[in-house]
Amino acid sequence: MSADRFDTARRSPWTFIRNGLARLGISGRTAVILAPTLWLTLFFLVPLLVVFKIALSTFALGQPPYAPMFSWSGSGTLSIQLDFSNFLFILSDSLYANAYINSVRIAGISTLVALVIAFPMAWFIARSDEKHRHIWLMLVILPFWTSFLLRVYAWMGFLGRNGIINNALISLGIIDEPILMLQTEGAVFIGIVYTYLPFMVLPLYTTLVKLDQSLIEASADLGARPFMTFLTVIVPLAMPGIIAGSMLVFIPAIGEFVIPSLLGGADTLMIGRVMWDEFFANRDWTVASAVAIVMLVILVVPIMLLNRAQDTVVESEQ
């Protein structure tokens, strides 16, 4: 084997990739950015455009259950038909407005409850001995090792009229007859908080574990009480974790379908259930797509506010 061929054989595949990108005029930084951009375009932007196209289409009986938006005439003219009646129907019907408001309310309260529960847990894990932290973190993510649906069904066994909680309270003589806990809004709160609690704990832990203990000691030396130290020192420094955890809980909770369907009652109306009914019960894909687009617009507002707050915190720390 000649020296040139031997050198070529010893080259890593990344060398050929870099050389190929260089020939195309693509720098390494651009290539790194290009990969997630293509991923988001293919699996987020393109499906979103398809949903938006369906939302602007006209309902039709058939497969698919909507009329084509683009049509060619015999003379070669392209016709584009946009139907905004689906959005007008959503805005005029109080059912969808109540579903949006209820979804935001339930998701917001669940996020606050998850934050109140997760903060002490994250603080305990962050301040525990380093050799024990991985054990506590494993216990936090342990529920993810089982099916999400099975965990929700387990709560049905806990909260049912003949469930574990009611049987325990009756055995202890605290109550005489079972309490209605399942098929209530409270059960939905329990299911959402339990399901998404790890998404709040982990960002908080990541922030609190890097917290400088000397700042807390300095606050105590200056005469601040523990509660004031918590409000003026710990909470501001933990704000990036609070914002990140709140986004990870609020965003999926607002569109939750399984938990309200299994744990909630008929009066627990959330937008995920409305979309399910429109897609599969009514087979009205146009209205369901419009509902999804409006929900996305509603989500953009809190996401922008949380991102702005997070950027403000980062800039103040710098």
Torsion angles phi and psi, residue 154, rounded to 5:
-60, -40
Tokens in use for 190? 């329990």
Q: Which of 89, 94, 72, 71 is nearest to 81 (CA)?
A: 71
Q: What is the pTM of this model?
A: 0.82
Residue count of the chain: 318
| Strand partners of residue 80 | 70
Residue range 31-70, pLDDT digits in tens: 678 778 888 888 888 988 999 999 998 888 777 888 888 7
d(CA 73, CA 196): 52
DSSP 66: B
Q: What digits encode the pLDDT tens for the residues 207-220?
A: 999 888 888 888 88
Flag whether pLDDT at 103 surpasses 90.
Answer: yes
Closest CA to 302 of 236, 252, 231, 233: 252
Q: How do residues 111-142 score in pLDDT, each as one tens digit?
A: 999 999 999 999 999 999 888 889 999 999 99
Q: Which two tokens stand for residue 128?
A: 């525990």
What's the CA gap between 207 and 217, in Å, rounded?
18
pLDDT at 77: 78
pLDDT mean over 279-285: 87
- For residue 120 the two structure tokens come to 């002490």
| 244 has pLDDT over 70 | yes
Question: Model confidence over 75-98: pLDDT tens digits?
Answer: 777 788 888 899 999 988 888 999
- Asked if omega into 65 is within 30° of 0 (cis), the reply is no
Mean pLDDT of the chain: 85
